[in-house]
Homo-oligomer: A and B are copies of this chain.
Amino acid sequence: MEGDIALSQSIRRAVDLIRRAAEHPLSLTEAAEVLGVHKSTALRILQTLESARFVRRTGAGTYVLGSGIIELSELALGSMDLRQFAAAPLRTLQRQTGHTVHLAQLTGDEIIYIDKVDSPAFDAVKLPSRIGRAVSIYASAVGKTILAYLPTEERDRLLSHVVFERFTPTTYADRESLDAELVRIREQGWAVDNGEHDTYVMCVAAPIRDSRGRVIAAASMTAIEVIASLDQLKDSLPLLLDTANQISGELGHTANLG
């Protein structure tokens, strides 16, 4: 109907149902309506997915996400050394500062969260971030941090795909102002997100380096404006930088700080 029409119909339908089932339990009738197909068609798709444990049938007859998906995900995440090494330091940082802490990594052409430590307290405002989700490459502290330290040609390649969008008044929404910001980041060694994607969300981020000294990830602290202002975040900046350096160290980076 729209878009590239070389893709497999039934697989797309299956993906669609998986996504829906992940959100809330899905009845067969609902599944059929969502896809705009006959119930028998939806049934066959769901049965196939069930046999793969991608969805699971509840006692009530509805379908929800199955453990097969979770298992695959852990297989992928578990194989990331970075995540292993970073887990403990990030949790310490969270406890010391009280801020929500994120770990993000360049994976292919996108920057995705690979770990997140929430404030244990009842946050009235839960951050919408989620492990596995891609984050804006130019309108986030972790994105800009990774971008800042990327080799030029790699950065150009990534940004050539990007269509800039001005999410908020502070967004760096064109290549020139973004490049200037990246220079600043390299000079000071850390990045700020001053509500550049969501007005109320402030972050600071610091680079994490592998054994060859290349920046492969970034750690960040986040605050909702009403809870902690950007200045408060900056108060905790030394701890963040320490944490990032510590993780780099675990990865084999021999720090030569200047």
* Chain A residues at the B interface, C-beta cutoff of 8 Å: 4, 6-8, 10-12, 14-15, 18-19, 22-23, 44-45, 47-49, 51-52, 54, 56-58, 64-65, 67-78, 88, 91, 107-108, 110, 112, 120, 130-134
Contacts and interface: CB of A to CB of B under 8 A. Distances in A.
A44 B7 contact: yes
A6 B73 contact: no
Number of copies: 2
B56 A108 contact: yes
B133 A67 contact: yes
A110 B47 CA distance: 17
25 contacts: A4-B51, A6-B44, A7-B48, A7-B51, A8-B44, A8-B45, A10-B10, A11-B14, A11-B49, A12-B52, A15-B54, A56-B108, A57-B108, A58-B108, A65-B72, A67-B134, A69-B72, A69-B76, A69-B132, A70-B73, A70-B131, A71-B131, A73-B73, A73-B74, A73-B132
- Secondary structure class of chain A's binding surface, majority of residues: helix
Contact of A71 (B51, B71, B133): B133
Contacts of A6: 44, 47
Given A73-B73, A73-B132, A48 B8 contact: yes
Nearest to A73: B73
A8 B56 CA distance: 17
A65 B76 contact: yes
Contacts of A51: 4, 7, 12
Given A15-B54, A18-B72, A132 B67 contact: yes
Contacts of A133: 67, 71, 74
A46 B181 CA distance: 38
